[in-house]
Homo-oligomer: A and B are copies of this chain.
Amino acid sequence: MSGKIGFIGLGIMGKPMARNLIKAGYSLVVYRKLDEAGAEQAASPRDVAERAEDVIITMLPDSSNVRDVVAGKNGIIEGCRRGQAVVDMSSIAPLASRELCALLAEKDVDMIDAPVSGGQEKAESGTLAIMAGGGEAAYERVKPILDVMGRSVRVGESGAGQIAKLVNQTIVAINIAAVAEGMSLAEKAGVDPRMVFEAIRKGLAGSQCLEDKAPRMFEGRYDPGARIKLHIKDLANVLETGRALHNSMPLSAILMEMFQSLAGDGGEALDHGALGLFYEKLNGISLKKS
């Protein structure tokens, strides 16, 4: 596929993703303004769909936004046509994603759910982890576009990408808390957590979360990154999906409570690494080193 790509959702993540597509030689039609040569502005999601050639990408905060943009008044569904594909890169509830896929299928329009992991930095560098769900033929058609934004893996049929994202967010939240819980013990025991970090990072405790979040905790640096508010949304989807399937997720449930405590302290806009702050308050310590 080539030609003009529709792109709806130019937030912290969407903007650098759109810019990378332009850099790669694609032209875009966007809903909100993108100050960039190569992007023309449309009046509505419907208008985006009408003016786009083969692919319309959405990158929005949550399920209700995607539902509005796809199926609401002046939505994509009113403007799209047979043979197009909607690639929803938002992180939303798997059930909502499957519903929208079914709705678009009635118009012979494919939908690929393709949520991402990696945050603003990796959006900028075009190195996102992209978890795709949907038909294999449709995935292969949109893959060259996904390749511009990161490394994609098709994990299964419609909604499977969203499930993979929930698994990702489950593991990430728990891994960050593991770092904070472990480091709280070191600090309380009078051992410099920075030295513990150096000693354990190359062993079985090593993780991307340890590498990214432990230094944040030692610096008290909780600017996002990935906002707690969005991780709460993801964990709500984890627990909602788990409950619909009767899948018990005891650690995810506790992580939700930890994030609620941070949100209650006004921390919704902080990076999820602020689980360090949760353990500081819990245990009356400071992990921050001057």
A interface list, Cβ under 8 A from B: 94, 117-119, 128-133, 151, 153-156, 159-161, 163-164, 166-172, 174-175, 177-179, 181-186, 188-193, 195-196, 198-200, 202-210, 212, 226, 238, 241-242, 245-252, 254, 282-283, 285
Contacts and interface: CB of A to CB of B under 8 A. Distances in A.
11 contacts: A94-B189, A118-B204, A128-B203, A163-B191, A164-B200, A166-B185, A171-B200, A174-B181, A181-B251, A189-B241, A204-B209
Which applies to chain A's interface (DSSP): helix, strand, loop or mixed? helix
Contacts of A181: 170-171, 174, 249-252
A199 B242 contact: no
A247 B174 CA distance: 18
* Copies of this chain in the oligomer: 2
B178 A170 contact: yes
Interface centre among A172, A204, A254 (most CB of B within 10 A): A204
Contacts of A182: 166-168, 170-171
Given A131-B196, A132-B199, A170-B181, 10 more contacts: A119-B204, A129-B203, A155-B192, A155-B196, A164-B200, A171-B178, A171-B200, A171-B207, A204-B209, A251-B251
